[in-house]
Structure 1
Amino acid sequence: MQIANVISLLLDYPTEGIIEAKNDLLEIIEKSQLPPAEKQGLAAFVRDRCSRDLMDWQSDYDALFERGRALSLLLFEHVHGESRDRGQAMVDLMNQYKSAGLELDVRELPDYIPLYLEFLSTQGEENLQLGLQEVAHILALLAARLEQRESNYAAIMHALIHLSGVVLDVDDVREQIANEARDDTKEALDKVWEEEMVTFGPDSTADGCSSAVNKPSDTQRKDQLVPITWSDFKDAGQSEAQRGN
């Protein structure tokens, strides 16, 4: 689905190419099957962000998604944290990608949401929905936290929740995180940097997490894909939302 590709692009690190593609993005959003509220939210996001200075947009992106773990765009961060289970989950997800013809660079983490969306967009509409259903509680958690920080990136998460077809009580999630301690403060970040960073792959010293991939072609689609199993997903999502209360 084109709308999944658009959302993947909007969630990735901002580039000049996104601004140049503004009109095309708005056209795809308008023609999508999203309901009016989600269309308006995404369109407003595109117009607002593309009207800003690119460096300001990039700075805001870094402040939101690269400081602290509460808004991490790495799915397993919210499910497994730094436990050993995360490593095996990475391997399982990478095998799913490879079976669909998607080859990742050693620096690319497979649970990065824009990459996950790129993958799902090649697997047929039904599997796209199933894949989003498996992470819907994480998306709701991110939506609530983004709302709390008054960021219009929340509109992207709400659009993904709608695409999943899952009916979630986001108000309940908002209530759970109401008294959650921020993890992007100077004190919280200093504490995180004292911990050893967990990396994956033979080239774990490589810095960064590139989102450039060799995307599967239509001929590599696997519409009979068996969706990934996210063990203890719902409980993990709920406990993550309650952390810091």
Structure 2
Amino acid sequence: MADSLALGMRALARMLDYPTPELVAALPEIREAFERMPLPSAAPRRALLEWSQQLAEVPLLESQAAYVALFDRGRSTSLLLFEHVHGESRDRGQAMVDLLRQYEDAGFVLDRRELPDYLPLFLEYLSTLPGHDVAHWLGDISHILALLTARLETRDSRYALVPHTLLSLIGEESQIDAHRDQAKQEPADNTPAAIDAVWEEEAVRFSAESDEDCALQSAEGQRLAERRNTVQPETIRIDDLTRPNPQPSGGVS
């Protein structure tokens, strides 16, 4: 069961990644992981399987454009966990530094360009932990997952299935209800006018208090460009995790 949970967590992480030919090639493996993943009856397993099949049939450029429109324009559906807690405050920089140190203490080595609060990366980390520790970490971010699910649902996005499934794993899917009204009433932040306003406010950022903070902020700015320009690995295997096995330490706050 532990292996099935780990593979399922990695499959969920991959489904949140930017669509690539390698991801499409791995979809049969991903579907198999979803079929074997130990999920409660309330979890949207059938919907996950249908979505993974649909992703294989949609033209890749169409999937990529939809992904960029959903996650790279505006902040309300950001896959950076601390975006929903700290925004662009200095607290966010410190929270990322703290989480990065927890990864490192656990032997979980990140690429220098990776942001520690990026949800697919966080799920990859969880895939290396025992089930009870996975539940602890998911409980720690359940409020973020619930808000993200509600916001993605308002956009009729299948990507809402991932945080919904994570909440189902710990029996906390009811938290989504508390955020649905809020998500429906929030003004759109992915319009050209809203995006321009953000750029005008943050053309220059002086919030870094250390070289490490500067590196994290720089990494955030590079993430979108590098997603499109970095050569992808030849294959993506959800059962091929080369990072050292970490030990759990602390939580996300």
Asked if Structure 1 and Structure 2 have the same fold, meaning a TM-score greater than 0.5 normalized by the shorter chain, the answer is yes
Residues in 2 aligned to 1:167 and 1:114: alpha-carbon distance in whole angstroms: 19
The answer to whether the 8 A contact 2:151-2:184 is kept is no
Q: Indicate whether 1:33 and 2:58 are aligned.
A: no
Normalising by structure 1, what TM-score? 0.84
TM-fit CA distance, 1:179:
1.4
TM-fit CA distance, 1:108:
1.4
- The alpha-carbon distance between structure 1 residues 167 and 207, as it changes in their structure 2 partners (threshold 3 A), is closer
Alignment of 1:159-170 (within 5 A): 159-170=165-176
Residues in 1 aligned to 2:59 and 2:173: alpha-carbon distance in whole angstroms: 36
The answer to whether the 8 A contact 1:110-1:116 is kept is yes
Runs of 5+ unmatched residues, structure 1: 231-245
The answer to whether the 8 A contact 1:119-1:215 is kept is no
Aligned residues: 226
1:216 equivalent among 243, 247, 250: 243
- The alpha-carbon distance between structure 1 residues 27 and 229, as it changes in their structure 2 partners (threshold 3 A), is closer
- Runs of 4+ deviating beyond 3 Å: 197-203, 209-212
More helix by share: 2
* Superposed CA offset, 1:134-178 (max 9, x none): 111111111111111111111112111112333533222111222
* Superposed CA offset, 1:158-216 (max 9, x none): 1111123335332221112221101001110110111226584448277226689x852
Q: Indicate whether 1:142 and 2:148 are aligned.
A: yes
Normalising by structure 2, what TM-score? 0.82
Runs of 5+ unmatched residues, structure 2: 1-5, 233-240
Residues in 1 aligned to 2:60 and 2:46: alpha-carbon distance in whole angstroms: 22
Aligned to 1:228: 251
Higher relative contact order (CA 8 A, sep 6+): 2
The answer to whether the 8 A contact 1:129-1:165 is kept is no
Aligned to 1:79: 85
The answer to whether the 8 A contact 1:118-1:215 is kept is no
1:22 equivalent among 4, 16, 27: 27
Q: Indicate whether 1:183 and 2:189 are aligned.
A: yes
The code of the aligned residue for 1:69 comes to: R
Aligned to 2:179: 173
Residues in 1 aligned to 2:37 and 2:125: alpha-carbon distance in whole angstroms: 19
Q: Indicate whether 1:64 and 2:70 are aligned.
A: yes
The code of the aligned residue for 1:164 comes to: I
The answer to whether the 8 A contact 2:164-2:173 is kept is no
Residues in 1 aligned to 2:252 and 2:178: alpha-carbon distance in whole angstroms: 25
The answer to whether the 8 A contact 1:102-1:216 is kept is yes
| Identical aligned residues as a percent | 42
